[in-house]
């Protein structure tokens, strides 16, 4: 299951996993855009389902539909997210609440719903797309977003602890800037940003590892930084 899969990184992950032989269940708010994004892929191995990170009932319905179609669940990729780049002195509580709802509470709910099925699988995988912003704060850029992504790291660690004995392995993926629609307005050169397909390849490799090779955190930088 991959959330926010109708474009950008989520779609790249869905396509890569499908190419690697997985059944994929993709979720997004715009079901028509979601179906168009997976056009040309094997309908028997793809489920497109409406999922809105701000509407808890859509997550439960998506889980149910996935199990109904494929019979089991082996992995969850929490990709859907939003950003507000406002600096600290102008960041609003409303914006912070919105990021908390989508970036933290929605993955938390999806993990809770998925855990029973992942435990049954015996080698379940959870991947949550955090950010290098979840590891460090980059000057005055997007502190609210960084706060939410720091919380994602804590959620991933808690999930790893909860599911370890049942074979669940959890990875927080922490990329720098990715060349997607989200980063077009950031002022950087997208040619020097991470290509979504490269990140999707890393994620596919990570989830394919055996239970004895757990990657807790995957930091992926596109430029020289002091600690990455």
Per-residue confidence (pLDDT) for residue 223, from 0 to 100: 87
User: Which tokens belong to 46?
Assistant: 């793809």
User: Which tokens belong to 189?
Assistant: 């050169």
* Residue 165 is assigned to a structural domain of this protein: yes
Which residues neighbour 201 within 8 Å (Cβ) at sequence distance 6 or greater? 16
* Residue 228 is assigned to a structural domain of this protein: no
Catalytically active residues are 145
Q: For 151-183, write each residue's pLDDT tens digit.
A: 999 999 999 999 999 999 999 999 999 987 666
* Residue 88 is assigned to a structural domain of this protein: yes
Residue range of the domain that includes 15: 2-220
Paired strand residues for 170: 126
The pLDDT of residue 214 is above 60: yes
* Residue 225 is assigned to a structural domain of this protein: no
Report the percent of the chain where pLDDT is more than 90. Answer: 88
Confidence grade of residue 228 (pLDDT, cut at 50, 70, 90): low
User: Which tokens belong to 147?
Assistant: 């706060």
* Residue 62 is assigned to a structural domain of this protein: yes
Rounded Cα distance between 195 and 200, Å, is 9
Confidence grade of residue 184 (pLDDT, cut at 50, 70, 90): low
Q: Average pLDDT, whole number, for the chain?
A: 94
* Residue 215 is assigned to a structural domain of this protein: yes
Starting from the edge strand earliest in sequence, which strands make up the sheet with 2-3, in order?
46-50, 24-28, 2-3, 75-78, 125-129, 169-175, 217-220
Q: What is the 3-state secondary structure (H, E, C) of 81-131?
A: CCCCCCCCCCCCHHHHHHHHHHHHHHHHHHHHHHHHHHHHHCCCEEEEECC
* Residue 195 is assigned to a structural domain of this protein: yes
CATH number at residue 143: 3.40.50.720
Q: For 40-75, write each residue's pLDDT tens digit.
A: 887 899 999 999 999 999 999 999 999 999 999 999
CB hemisphere CA count around 215 (13 angstroms): 20
In 3D, which of 182, 156, 181, 160 has the Cα closest to residue 169? 160
Rounded Cα distance between 212 and 201, Å, is 20
The pLDDT of residue 25 is above 90: yes
* Residue 123 is assigned to a structural domain of this protein: yes
Averaged pLDDT, 106-134: 97
- Please give the tally of structural domains in the chain: 1
User: Which tokens belong to 131?
Assistant: 């950010």
């Amino acid at each position: 299951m991959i959330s926010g899969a109708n474009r950008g990184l989520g779609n790249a992950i869905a396509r890569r996993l499908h190419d690697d032989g997985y059944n994929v269940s993709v979720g997004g708010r715009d079901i028509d855009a979601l179906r168009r994004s997976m056009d040309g892929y094997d309908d028997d191995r793809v489920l497109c389902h409406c999922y809105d990170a701000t509407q808890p009932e859509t997550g439960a319905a998506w889980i149910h539909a996935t199990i109904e179609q494929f019979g089991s669940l082996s992995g969850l990729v929490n990709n859907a997210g939003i950003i507000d780049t406002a600096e600290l002195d102008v960041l609003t509580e409303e914006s912070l609440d919105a990021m908390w709802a989508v970036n933290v509470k929605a993955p938390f709910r999806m993990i809770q719903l998925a855990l029973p099925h992942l435990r049954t699988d015996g080698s379940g995988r959870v991947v949550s797309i955090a950010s290098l912003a979840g590891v460090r704060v980059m000057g005055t850029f997007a502190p609210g977003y960084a706060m939410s992504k720091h919380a994602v790291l804590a959620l991933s660690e808690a999930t790893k602890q909860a599911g370890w004995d049942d074979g669940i392995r959890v990875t927080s993926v922490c990329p720098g800037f990715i060349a997607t629609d989200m980063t077009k307005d950031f002022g950087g050169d997208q040619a020097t940003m991470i290509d979504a397909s490269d990140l999707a390849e890393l994620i596919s490799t990570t989830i394919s590892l055996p239970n004895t090779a757990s990657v807790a955190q995957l930091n992926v930088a596109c430029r020289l930084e002091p600690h990455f």
